[in-house]
Amino acid sequence: MSTTNNAIRGGEFLIRETAAQDVFIPEEWNEEQLMIKQMTMEFVEKRIIPNIEAIDNQEEGLVPKLMEESGELGLLGSSVPEDYGGMGLDFKSTMLITEAIGGAHAFSVSFSAHTGIGTLPILYYGNEAQKEKWIPGLASGALKGCYCLTEPGAGSDANSGRTKATLSDDGEHYIINGQKMWITNGGFADVMIVFAKIDDDDNLTAFIVDGHSEGISKNPEEKKMGIKGSSTRQIFFNDVKVPKENLLYERQKGFKIAVNILNIGRIKLGGAVLGAAKDALTETVKYANERNQFGRPISKYGAIRYKLAESAIRIYTCEAATYRATQNIDDAISGLKTSGMEHGEATLKGIADFAPECAMMKVLGSEMLDYVVDEAVQIHGGMGYSAETRAERAYRDARINRIFEGTNEINRMLTVDMILKKAMKGEMDLMGPAMAVAQELTGIPDFGVAPTDTFEAHLGYVRNLKKAILMVAGSAAQKLMMTLAKEQEILMGIADMTIWLYTLESTVLRVQKLAGMRDDVSLQTEIMKVYAYESAEWIHSAGKETLLAFADGDELKMMLMGLKRFCKTEDFNTKEARQRIAQHLIDKNEYHF
């Protein structure tokens, strides 16, 4: 990738240090960005939440109408250039809108599917005529989009799809036959991105299909655990005629489109779940302050405070990691544009370079939200299990996020696979640092003098935890070689270690940068300290289990000793820290960081 400076590349966080001034933190949003966020949140508060029952009951025409209203505010076209009727915002600002819409329950799914997988394939891969024809309508909400990739026999293995396209005798149309399932917005989409194999091709091709074409039929709406207000249909294509000029990009390049659009969807999901989690925790804090048991609010009790504080810690740290990765992507896009690349291509390449981080944020965010909504139900008690509360809906709605955009298991394995492939292509040097760690294991430990500065101490933890991951991953790659790709438990263990490390480093850098902007960052420092203590324990546990899966003898003993050393942190009273974090939430009566 050609950039104008020595900017960090995707995956390089494992082998390079990042300075606090080089990361974006959410405390840096400018006034215009915050106004856009506020506008979006007001739309959710005034138009979505009061209609949430009607949305979940799929009242005829309601979601399409609300989509059009959001289009009138410019929200559907946030990533669309102004030439095509959009707002032309940078990637980071579009993420902020995604976060702000995240508390809209099922509507956020309809919105995200339209603005992401329903619009971006045409925006980034369409020719000029295709963009002029479809994008303005998608940006305004006059047209609604959907994405038809998954089939009954083709889920995670998307390229195995059996939907077929053949050129008509007159050469003017492709005739599509096949079946798609789990199609979000399928019940009302005007524009469909449909993936099919032309004749006996090995790989998919993408087509832009008019959603009202003759030959398209649909099953009734799926009955789902959650996101009930999101239209989800099976769609059947029976001799559907698609003008040949609606072939998107190039023949057999559909899988490339699918992969790159999924990268965007993964990190955008990381933004959406932030909004949902903040909303859920705020509702929970309010309930804990209002609900009295044994003569006082339940927010006075330590067990409840633990849950509130831990939820806030996971939200804050996930937010730090998500917007760090988002800014890295923005910087990569800017660098590529500066070198002369067209905006759409630069966007795709910039995001593709950070595909490991996109996969990590999808896993981190979806599991963070699951924790927050699960504890929300627990704090609400019996009321949390009642459909009268939003806690019950939030719990059900959250579960799909670990399946959307590739399952979390797939994304964990992809994280490790993509970083290793970067190393094999010579895009980053993993071998050198891994060998340096291996040599360090056989040497005499240099414990040195512990830093007195809190941030330097925590950056020291980060450096050592990177060594732990390089040791485990390097040893696994060396010992297992070509069979590593089949060792899913080992890959997922390494992925977890990597995700926690990235999140911890992002949090330390966020708080360190914030300390240069504000006088009092005591509560944020408490969050950082608790997460450092927790994540080091998690990384040690996952590393040990992973090493035991493939190593033995003296080599295993040596690496276990090294792992323990690399994962060491100073003892810390997490209970008191959580008490202070929880008290802040209780006093503010909301998530307030």
Q: How far apart are CA 88 and CA 343, in angstroms?
A: 11
Looking at residue 146, the DSSP 8-state letter turns out to be E
What are the backbone angles phi and psi of residue 173, rounded to the nearest 5°? -135, 155
Classify 22 as helix, strand or coil: helix
End-to-end CA gap in the chain: 36
Q: Kindly give the residue spans of alpha helices, DSSP state H, lying in 128-253.
A: 128-140
Establish whether 17 is a catalytic residue: no
Classify 376 as helix, strand or coil: helix
Q: Are 46 and 529 in contact (CB under 8 A)?
A: no
Q: Are 147 and 117 in contact (CB under 8 A)?
A: yes
Catalytic residue among 405, 505, 526, 534: 405
> Residue 363: in which H helix or E strand, if any?
helix 355-380
Q: How far apart are CA 559 and CA 129, in angstroms?
A: 59
Per this entry, what is the length of the chain? 593
Q: How far apart are CA 322 and CA 47, in angstroms?
A: 27
Place of tokens 């995240």: 102
> Residue 175: in which H helix or E strand, if any?
strand 173-184
What are the backbone angles phi and psi of residue 237, rounded to the nearest 5°? -115, 115
Q: Are 176 and 237 in contact (CB under 8 A)?
A: yes
- Residues with a known catalytic role: 405
